[in-house]
Amino acid sequence: MKKILPFHLIIGIVLILVSCQTKKENATRSTTNTNQNIEAKIDSILPRLTLEEKVDLCHAQSKFSTKGVARLGIPEIWMSDGPHGVRAEISWDSWDYAGWTNDSITAFPALTCLAATFNPDLAGDYGFNLGEEARYRKKDVLLGPGVNIYRTPFNGRNFEYLGEDPFLASTLVVPYIKGVQKNGVAACVKHFALNNQEHWRDVVNVEVSDRALHEIYLPAFKAAVQKGNSWAIMGAYNKFRGQYTTHHKLLTNKILKSEWGFDGVVISDWSSTHSTLEAANNGLDIEMGTGTDGLGTTTENHYQHYYLANPFLEKLKSGEISEAVLNDKVRRVLRLRFRTNMKANRPLGSLNTPEHHEVARKVATEGIVLLKNDDNFFPIEDKAGLTIAVIGENATRSMTAGGGSSELKPQFEISPLEGIKARFKNAKVLHTMGYETGVSEYDVVHPPTLNQDSLKTEAIKLAKSADVVLFVGGLNKSHLQDSEGDDRQQYGLPFGQEALINDISNVNENLGFILLTGNAVAMPWLDRVKGLMESWYLGSMAGHAIADVVSGDVNPSGKLPFSFPKALEDNGAHAFGETSYPGVDMTQHYKEDILVGYRWHDTKNIAPLYAFGFGLSYTAFELENIASDKENYTKNAHIKIKCDVSNTGNLAGAEVVQVYVGKKDSKVDRALKELKGFTKVTLDKGEQKSVTIEVPVEALAFYNEEKSDWEIETGDYQIYVGNASNNISETLKITVK
């Protein structure tokens, strides 16, 4: 016999549903009215602007600002790098720092760390807190986040991006953007598109299939536009099929603005504009950085000589370019202002608050990935009589300095050594450098000033006398490492670190490695260390976050957002030689096509050193009772994967359940499996939770090059559920009718 709810409960439920629907309709109506009001205001402004004033709105007036229209009360637009903190103030006409004393900020962890959290809610907190700092610094556009796909471990800027998987990057970029823009600051998603290396970045021509373009390299940008409602997009330096991407007919006009319906502004990367006609007709709205000496010793690079300045004005006056083209740009830059510095009730922002520091620390601790933990090397107990030798230059070196445009000037930066000393008050913590890298400038690294043999001798001596050795090494933000402007030149660790690790392990086998990088590295020394943590570049709270995990105050839950190949040639981009990376005669062909990262390893059966999605914990988890809600689905349905997650260990912790999908009998070549869903679940010891991950059937589509459109194949699909791309607990079969 069916139970019937009491009448008053039925009425209550109906009222709740009606209320929710009313709120949704009111929110939609409010957004629509706001947009209509903005467009009406723009309509009233456009006729009042002179041709010259309109053109002035489309190019820089300084390194990081564009003109306003003073007589109409239209303010300037002020921009700032970068994706993980608001950059120190730059001079008007040069790249020199302005020398302000009030522009110190909170440095948040680099985006590789954010990606490793697999936590969309935390990505929203990250964006919001960063946006508050940008707003306080009176910035209208924040030049980030970066969503270029990790294709090669040599790319100097990988640390600024969200990993190798388009679904992961798409999932995390949306809350980041929304968080930033809640502060009335535009997120400027970069670099559109195919800017996947720094070497030859301003001249290299990328050749890639339409499938790889749409399935791998564009999804995060598409999500940023259609789900994140990003107000700005930054062009890239490189070419695609012979045309510069900053003003690209296919990418910018057809895909971004027409197919995706992007209504924001396209901003050039600094000096990435190359033609007045192409910039005008192919969708560039604001040109930045083409010249640098607007008020100095020469007028050669004055802002009025930009491609979208006087040359643009002349072609408008001659009729070679229609004024309708200009009006579309002006409409977009005015729309940007109404969303930012001309918006009523815009928040005021805040700087260096305890909340900002706490979010930075939270992202850092959730992003640290435990890769190896033999004999339970980690966590390390703080106890009297214990001597910890901390060895390595990275234990004290600033990781917010350097790296190119993302360099930061934090109010403080807790080094790994400081954090470990502050946490381990009972133990004796000693430090020596072990090696030195030398001082780096943007395009040159000066040789070390200290005697390397002496540093090595001192490190071995200290290691002999210690109970525990923590080697803090990896890469840094110098030129030819994790830095803008060029790529790495070796897959192994630089500066003699590999030999030093081997020598230390010979005198003390109780050795752990805290690895600071934004890229994968070769690990011929892996069997010499008991414990290994990938700690990324963690910003202001780096040392505290590292100490949180080393001590066990925080149980690590980070997962790798990109694969670590055993050897460089095991990476898909490098498997085809120079024609694929870095290119031949300034042209490169993405010969691995859609098989980027773990897709390459899985499909070609090449075992990685560490797989995408991998990360250990101080506790243990089991995934059980994995099932789909049904076996057959229509094309407009959602696949629901249910799973019980149990914490079978002795500590509270978090696990990331990952859902991959593959199709073995596809009519086109496919990867063995692709990430299509994930969820992070936190459990007390002994606790079990049931989770459900939804995958829309439309997410199983491939890009059909013959139709230039997406296509969902009918037939059988394999659903892989696990906690890493190479650690699958259950494989299910479902059918799309």
Q: Which residues are catalytic?
A: 269
Structure tokens at 199: 């070497």
Query: How far lies 282's CA from each of 207, 209, 279, 508, 703, in Å?
Result: 19, 21, 6, 62, 24
CA 630, CA 627: separation in Å to the nearest integer? 8
CA distances from 356 to 108, 130, 134 (A): 8, 8, 12
Cα-Cα-Cα-Cα dihedral of 39, 41, 42, 43, to 10°?
Answer: 90
Positive or negative, the Cα torsion across 34, 35, 39, 40? negative
The total of other beta-carbon atoms located within 10 Å of residue 498's CB is 18
Instruction: Provide Rg for the chain, Cα atoms.
Output: 26
Name the amino acid, one letter, at 416. P
Token pair of 138, please?
A: 């009176």
Distance, in Å, from the CA atom of 219 to the CA atom of 600, rounded to the nearest integer, reads 18
Give the whole-angstrom CA distance, residue 47 versus residue 334. 13
Ramachandran angles phi, psi of 395, nearest 5°: -70, -20
Interatomic CA distance for residues 173 and 531, integer angstroms: 31
CA distance 530 to 511: 6
Structure tokens, 293:
């000496």
Sequence-ordered list of residues with C-beta below 8 angstroms from that of 658, at least 6 positions apart, any chain: 559, 613, 675, 677, 678, 721, 722, 723, 724, 725
CB atoms within 10 A of CB 80: 27
DSSP code, position 613: T
d(CA 515, CA 496): 15
In angstroms, the Cα distances linking 235 to 144, 188, 270, 355 are 12, 10, 9, 33
Distance in angstroms (rounded) separating the CA atoms of residues 102 and 93? 20
CA 536 to CA 364: how far, in whole Å? 8
Smallest CA-to-CA distance from 379 within 263, 290, 468, 507 is with: 468
Say if CB 633 and CB 678 are below 8 A apart. Answer: no
Do 225 and 234 form a contact (C-beta atoms < 8 A)? no
**727-736 and 715-724: which strand pairing?**
antiparallel
CA-to-CA distance for 654 and 687, rounded, in angstroms?
11
Buried b (16+ CB within 10 A) or exposed e, 332-351: bbbbbbbbbbbeeeeeebeb
